[in-house]
Amino acid sequence: MDVNVALAQWSNLLIYSAMAVYAIAFIIYAFDLFGPAFAGDTQKVEEKAGRRSGRSTRPETGKAASTAAQRGGAAGSGTTAVLDDAEATGTSGAGDSADGGDAGKTLDVRRWARAGTALTVLAAAFHVGAIVTRTLAVMRVPWSNMMEYALIASAVVSVAYLVLLRFRDFRYLGTFVTFSVLLVLGLCITVFHTPAAQIIPALDNYWIWIHVPIAILSTVLLFLSAIFALVQIVRSRSESKPWRGPLRFINALPGSKDLEKTSYRFAAVGFVTWTFTLVAGAFWAEIAWGRYWGWDSKEIWTFVVWVVYAAYLHARATRGWTPTRVAVLNLVGIATVIFNFSIVNLYFNGLHAYSGV
Amino acid sequence: MEKPSQASQPPTTSKATKGAKGAKGAKGRAPAADIGFVGMLRWAWRQLTTMRAALILLLVLALAAIPGSLLPQRNQDPGAVSTFIEENGSWGEFLDTVQLFDVYTSVWFSAVYILLMVSLVGCIIPRTKHHFQAMRQAPPKAPRRLTRMSAYRTTPLATGAQQRTAEELLETAHEQLKKSGYRTVRNEDHIAAERGYLKETGNLVFHVSILATVIIMAMGGLFGYSGQRVLVEGDTFSHSLVSYDSFEPGTFFDANSLPEFRLTLDDLETRFDDEATGAQFGQPRQFDADVTLNTPEEETSFVLRPNEPVRVEGSNIYLIGNGYAPVITARNANGDVTYSGPVVFLPQDGVYTSTGVVKVPDASPDQLGFGGVLLPTTGRNDSGELISTFAELRNPLLVMDAYRGDLGLDSGAPQSVYQLESDSMEQLVGDDGQPFQMVMQPGDTAELPDGHGSVTFEEIRKYAALDVHHDPVQVWMLPFMALLFGGLSLTLFVARRRVWVRVSGDQVEIAGLARGEDPRVDEAVEELTQVLSLESLEPESADPDADSAPNRSGK
Ligand code: HEM
């Protein structure tokens, strides 16, 4: 009924294109991580162990970096400012390093990261294009089944990552971000795949404009928080015992205290929006099913997610909980979020069975 | 609140320190044997109201909620629970004994959340007291060594060219801090300032709102009711206890309080997608019930839809489901009608393959029962079996078996109207010796074997499944949700910090202490330093890392 088939096909085509570009970006970003920018730094760290690494892991890093971001922001070109900074140190870093390489190489030590970011921008454009064409194909709310939800959430992750780059150089996350977005898109065209169509009456209500986008936003925020928590955990290990081998790039990441703060900020906002998702869901349930809370399987898991993040926030303020343990709780949190989206939607019965799959 | 993990900060909030102390106690030792019963209680209370206990209870609550999603629950689907227990024998019975089919009303789940609520109360009360006192006290004096604070700057009081007195400086600082929303106090040689009291206020409001939410939920269960009724097109539902198919009153529900109304289902329009591809084919697109509502005052007509309940005097009526009800007439061998009326068939899948039973206690010579399957749009699958291919009534077919014997209706035991107790019944057999089966389209009549009369499939009507709910305290949720969000946002996003400005010798010291999460404490102190510095002078303690550090994050 009322589906523009041509546009729907365009949407699928754009998804495939985005996937191809994300895949290349992923590989290129990996070159950056394992390449000279991080390795050079590591050598330096190893050479001048005490003084140098002591400084690089100081918590002040974050503060100074945000000052830099402000400077960049004030100049009206945050990204370039940060990129230039990175390049500048890249130069000195590689110059320091023992191999004494040729000038061309040392000049642009993070060219892989730059290429990766450029490709991510292109992929994100395809990705957003896929959402727009699909929406135009059906002319209705663009998030009414699992595929559309995942399509949008992954686009928001990708766009949020690009926007955050303007404030701070997070490109060390590029590999991870492009990989996870690629994975989600892969699921979108296989397991979650749902042909473009109109909406079912149970969803045809203004609450879908409130409940679902906030849920998507929360998922993205909590996901970003979890990425930082994960990096924090591996980074924290490297502070007592530096990594060797291919994982040595970890030693050059920002300090774990800094990462923990970023992770917490995303989680705090994510907790508020998740609370809103839950409460909005209860309001909707009241008009859809006649009760605001009934322990339906989706309600159960949304509650579990909420309680786990409440525990995370408490753990942070409880003596005896080390930052690493708190970060593990954060990862448990994102695991419940993912479970709630995937397993509960696909395998559990309930009123909330709108996967469309 | 204090972050107990940040050890460098002076302990200022009694709850946090008390919590930490209690937590240490929990780790270290059990209560001494000689403290007596009251001492024991007091010890237990202290343990329960620590942050650590709250944290553990939260984690246990999350775990305890999970089984309810893995096992069928009685409150959702009692049928699935009985089936599960039957299929799993003693294992199923064991699970039932430990209330795993009633998780959310179970003793153990209740214990966890009640303990959490008690812990919450034990937490809120002393914190409220303490916060109330803190709000009436002046910000604490500066500690002796300000260099220890999380942000610290100095700037000269005077130079050769520019002179000012300590008095002047402190005056400026005082004004500046006040303007920025600090509560300030002027001490002998310094200004002490604090801001962000709303953080703790928000925290308390948030926790109280949680408590209120749980109480409102419990009260709704006590004073409300809910009931279900299936209504076939053309039929009228007169609101009273007896006309419900099922009814669950709250403990304090008063049957006389049922509002008076009649609801007639005039027409039910359903539409399904016959154009989409894949999993979207056959999905519902429209359920519109035209109903007429008669209250003592007036008669109104409207459309009842999913997501659009009707509210009648505090009772809400919801369209929860729909399906088909074949109209069946049974006659005995003499042609006398023994049964006539619509029979509600329950849809089993997305294409509305529906099952139902007809019980004819007045049949003769034996009682009769029919069990059948209705296919709204009949087709054949690859192996040639009859199946339904679409949910709308495009080519309906009714297939029924017939049983004779005792329906068991007189035994007094409650029976489902959707199931035949076929144990004590015997299936009718056709002339060919095979089990007798009727395959009918609307209008068809089938003769039953052995003089049991005939069955006519007259037509198909649609029915709506309605839920009626009443929850008198539900409206209180709205204000408490607003408070919950307000409180949560304040506690998470308001920065609470103390600032001191002190003149010591020819130096001005400016220091800030974050109390809890505060990403801006350093910036705030820096800004204040800028304001207080003699114009031409740079603040001495500009961060030495500022130039080299930004790229650290990217490298
Ligand atoms: C249903 C139970 C509870 C929930 C959902 C809950 C939730 C929360 C949330 C979301 C925060 C904000 C976290 C933050 O400010 O960083 C918080 C803070 C806090 N809660 Fe609870 N809480 C619960 C029970 C308790 C109990 C029983 C206590 C007392 C033992 C408690 C003590 C605190 C304290 C002291 C803070 C401030 C922590 C900080 O400085 O960050 N909470 N709670």
Ligand 1 pocket mutation pick from B14, B203, B204, B211 by most atoms within 8 angstroms of CB: B203
Q: Is A348 on the interface with B (CB under 8 A)?
A: yes
Q: What is the pLDDT of residues A228-281, one digit of tens each?
A: 999 999 999 888 888 887 788 888 888 899 999 999 999 999 999 999 999 999
CA of A314 to the centre of ligand 1 (A): 6
Q: What is the pLDDT of residues B532-552, one digit of tens each?
A: 887 534 444 444 444 333 333
Q: Is the pLDDT of residue B445 over 60?
A: yes
Rg from Cα positions in chain A: 22
CA distance linking residue A318 with residue A321, whole number of Å: 6
Q: What is the pLDDT of residues A159-198, one digit of tens each?
A: 999 999 999 889 999 999 999 999 999 999 998 888 888 8
Q: Determine whether the interchain pair A60/B543 forms a contact, defined as Cβ–Cβ distance below 8 Å.
A: yes
- How many CA atoms are closer than 13 Å to the CA of B317, on its beta-carbon side? 29
Centroid of chain to Cα B266: 34
Average pLDDT, rounded, for chain A: 81
- Rounded to an integer, the average pLDDT of A75-82 is 32
For chain B, how many residues are written? 555
A contacts of B55 (beta carbons < 8 Å): 311, 314-315, 318, 321
A contacts of B550 (beta carbons < 8 Å): 64-65, 67-69, 82, 85, 169
Long-range Cβ pairs for the range B344-347 (8 Å, 24+): B344/B230, B344/B232, B344/B417, B344/B418, B344/B463, B345/B372, B345/B374, B346/B418, B347/B323, B347/B391
Using CA coordinates, name the residue in chain B closest to A36. Answer: B555
Using CA coordinates, name the residue in chain B closest to A299. Answer: B69
The ligand 1 atom nearest the CA atom of B51: 30
Q: What is the pLDDT of residues A79-97, one digit of tens each?
A: 333 333 343 343 333 333 3
Longest pairwise C-alpha distance within chain B: 126
pLDDT given for residue B30 in this prediction = 56
Q: Exposure string (b/e) for B430-467, b if CB count within 10 Å is 16 or more? A: eeeeeebebebeeeeebebeeebbebbbbebbbbbbbb
pLDDT given for residue B551 in this prediction = 37
Q: What is the pLDDT of residues B502-529, one digit of tens each?
A: 998 888 999 999 988 888 899 999 999 9
Ligand 1 pocket mutation pick from B3, B49, B120 by most atoms within 8 angstroms of CB: B120
Binding pocket residue ranges, ligand 1, CB within 6 Å = A 310, 313-314, 317; B 1, 15, 49-51, 54, 116, 119-120, 123, 203, 207, 210, 491-492, 516
* pLDDT class of B10 with cuts at 50, 70, 90: very low
pLDDT given for residue B498 in this prediction = 94
Please tell me which residue, B460 or B78, carries the higher pLDDT value: B460
CA distance linking residue A83 with residue A112, whole number of Å: 12
The residues that bridge with B311 in the sheet, in sequence order, are B316
For residue A222, give the amino acid letter. Answer: L
* pLDDT class of A37 with cuts at 50, 70, 90: low
3-state secondary structure of B150: coil
Which span out of A181-185, B45-49, B216-220 was modeled with the highest average pLDDT? A181-185
Q: Is the pLDDT of residue A107 over 60?
A: no
Alpha-carbon separation of residue A175 from A179, A206, B52 (angstroms): 6, 38, 37
Q: Which of the residues A283, A318, A322 would you substitute to probe the B interface, choosing the one with the greatest number of B C-beta atoms within 10 Å?
A: A318
Q: Determine whether the interchain pair A68/B550 forms a contact, defined as Cβ–Cβ distance below 8 Å.
A: yes
A contacts of B484 (beta carbons < 8 Å): 275, 279
Q: Whose CA is nearest to atom 17 of ligand 1?
A: A314
CA distance linking residue B377 with residue B388, whole number of Å: 5
CA distance linking residue A255 with residue A56, whole number of Å: 7
Share of chain B above pLDDT 70, in %: 90
How many beta-carbon contacts under 8 Å exist across A and B?
A: 233
Centroid of chain to Cα A287: 34
Per-window interface: B 272-291 vs A, CB < 8 A: 273, 275-280, 283-287
- Rounded to an integer, the average pLDDT of B139-155 is 91
What backbone phi and psi angles, to 5 degrees, belong to B453?
A: 95, -150
Instruction: Please report the beta strands in chain A, taking only residues with DSSP state E, as ranges in sequence order.
Output: none
Centroid of chain to Cα A129: 20
CA of B506 to the centre of ligand 1 (A): 45
Nearest to B467 among A61, A193, A290 (CB): A290
Q: How far does the CA of residue B218 sit from the closest CA of chain A (Å)?
A: 11
**In sequence order, what DSSP letters do the residues of B523-545 get, joined into one string?**
HHHHHHHHHHS-TTPPPTT--TT
Q: Is the pLDDT of residue B4 over 90?
A: no
pTM: 0.82
- Rounded to an integer, the average pLDDT of A120-125 is 97
* pLDDT class of A54 with cuts at 50, 70, 90: very low
CATH of B138-196+495-541, one of 3.40.50.720, 3.30.310.80, 3.40.50.740, 3.40.50.300: 3.30.310.80
Per-window interface: B 519-538 vs A, CB < 8 A: 519, 522
Q: Is the pLDDT of residue A42 over 70?
A: no
Lowest-pLDDT choice from A18-32, A118-132, B11-25, B409-423: B11-25
Q: How many CB atoms lie within 10 A of CB B306?
A: 24
Q: What is the pLDDT of residues B281-340, one digit of tens each?
A: 888 888 999 999 999 889 999 999 988 999 888 889 999 899 999 999 999 989 899 999
List the end-to-end C-alpha distance of chain B, in Å, as a whole number: 35
Q: How many CB atoms lie within 10 A of CB A37?
A: 29
Q: How far does the CA of residue A108 sit from the closest CA of chain B (Å)?
A: 13
pLDDT given for residue B304 in this prediction = 92
Q: Is the pLDDT of residue B410 over 50?
A: yes
- Rounded to an integer, the average pLDDT of B377-397 is 92
A contacts of B548 (beta carbons < 8 Å): 64, 89
Interface predicted TM-score (ipTM) over 0.85 = no
Q: What is the pLDDT of residues B95-139, one digit of tens each?
A: 999 999 999 999 999 999 999 999 999 999 999 999 999 899 999
Which tokens in the block code for residue B272? 């399904």
* pLDDT class of A36 with cuts at 50, 70, 90: low
Place of tokens 């570009």: A21
Q: Is B74 on the interface with A (CB under 8 A)?
A: no
CA distance linking residue A299 with residue A354, whole number of Å: 14
CA distance linking residue B192 with residue A11, whole number of Å: 61
For residue A225, give the amino acid letter. Answer: S
pLDDT given for residue A149 in this prediction = 94
Domain boundary assignment for chain B: 50-125, 138-196+495-541, 225-470
pLDDT given for residue A279 in this prediction = 96
To the nearest 10 degrees (0 to 180), the angle between helices A146-167 and A323-341 is 150
Q: Determine whether the interchain pair B276/A197 forms a contact, defined as Cβ–Cβ distance below 8 Å.
A: yes
CA distance linking residue A285 with residue B305, whole number of Å: 14
Q: How many CB atoms lie within 10 A of CB B544?
A: 10
- Rounded to an integer, the average pLDDT of B165-191 is 91
Q: How many CB atoms lie within 10 A of CB B332?
A: 20
Nearest to A197 among B68, B273, B553 (CB): B273
Q: Is the pLDDT of residue B39 over 90?
A: no
CA distance linking residue B119 with residue B129, whole number of Å: 16
**In sequence order, what DSSP letters do the residues of B451-504 get, joined into one string?**
T--EEEEEEEEEEEEEEEEE-TTGGGHHHHHHHHHHHHHHHHH--EEEEEEEEE
Per-residue DSSP letter, B377: B
3-state secondary structure of B8: coil
Pairing of strands B310-312, B299-304: unpaired
Lowest-pLDDT choice from A45-59, A155-169, A299-313, B256-270: A45-59
Q: Determine whether the interchain pair B485/A86 forms a contact, defined as Cβ–Cβ distance below 8 Å.
A: no
Share of chain A above pLDDT 70, in %: 78
Residue whose C-alpha is closest to residue B306's, from A285, A348, A198: A285
Average pLDDT, rounded, for chain B: 86
- Rounded to an integer, the average pLDDT of B145-161 is 87
